[in-house]
Amino acid sequence: MNKDLFFLGIQWCGKGTQGKLLLKDFASQYDYLEMGQLFRAIMSNDNIIGNFCKDIVNSGGLVDHFVSHDRFHTALQIVTKKKVGLMVDGFPRAMEQAEFMMKKMEEYKREYIIIHFELSKEKAIERMMKRAEIEGRKDDTVEAMNTRIDAFMNETLPMIKHFESLGKVITVNADGTIEEVQAELRSKLGL
């Protein structure tokens, strides 16, 4: 593979699980940026940035674009310097982020593909409820869940459609076992 990969899909579609599984076989060629994990780490700090992000994320909102842009740009500079590919989980999530991402990808002369893990809203809610029981994350409340799903439907999904119009999207059915989804992902990537 010689393209950067962006894993997108409705919350709880398994994009992180699938990305990390793929990374196992390509760890020497790719670095991995999980935006949600990065923000949880930032929010664990009692400082201006951590507290700013914490209030937004715990209510189910998306952190302001300028914060996400800075994290993505830093990761892009790192992988460019290391001469490796980048796998990104959960960015971009809105058209403004997509425009920033496309501009930076062009600036750094990097090819990319969007992997859309497609899953129904109902199945996503079912998975979220299971994860909330297992992990007990503070941001897995019904209110936050509905806010995030609304954001996906209203912001992320139209953005994915935009990338489809550019021929940049591979769609993977995320409503299967972990192994089935991984097999489809690898097949569609030609691996």
- Let me know if 23 is exposed, middle or buried by CB neighbors in 10 A (0-12, 13-18, 19+): middle
Could you give the percent of the chain with pLDDT greater than 90? 72
Q: Which residues pair with 173 in a beta bridge?
A: 118
Q: Where are the domains of the chain?
A: 4-188
pLDDT in tens, 66-81: 999 999 999 999 999 9
Q: What is the DSSP string of 4-63?
A: EEEEEESTTSSHHHHHHHHHHHHTTTEEEEEHHHHHHHHHTS-SHHHHHHHHHHHTTPPP
What kind of architecture, by CATH, is found in domain 4-188? 3-Layer(aba) Sandwich (3.40)
pLDDT band at residue 151 using 50, 70 and 90 as cut-offs: confident
Phi, psi (degrees; rounded to nearest 5) at 29: -110, -15
Secondary-structure breakdown of the chain: helix, strand, coil percentages, each rounded to the nearest 5: 60, 15, 25
In what order do the strands lie in the sheet containing 85-89? 30-34, 85-89, 4-9, 112-118, 169-173
pTM: 0.90
Q: Is residue 89 classed as helix, strand or coil in its secondary structure?
A: strand
Tell me the pLDDT band of 137, cut-offs 50, 70 and 90: low
Question: Mean pLDDT of all residues in the chain?
Answer: 91
Please give the Cα distance from 91 to 104 (Å, whole number). Answer: 13
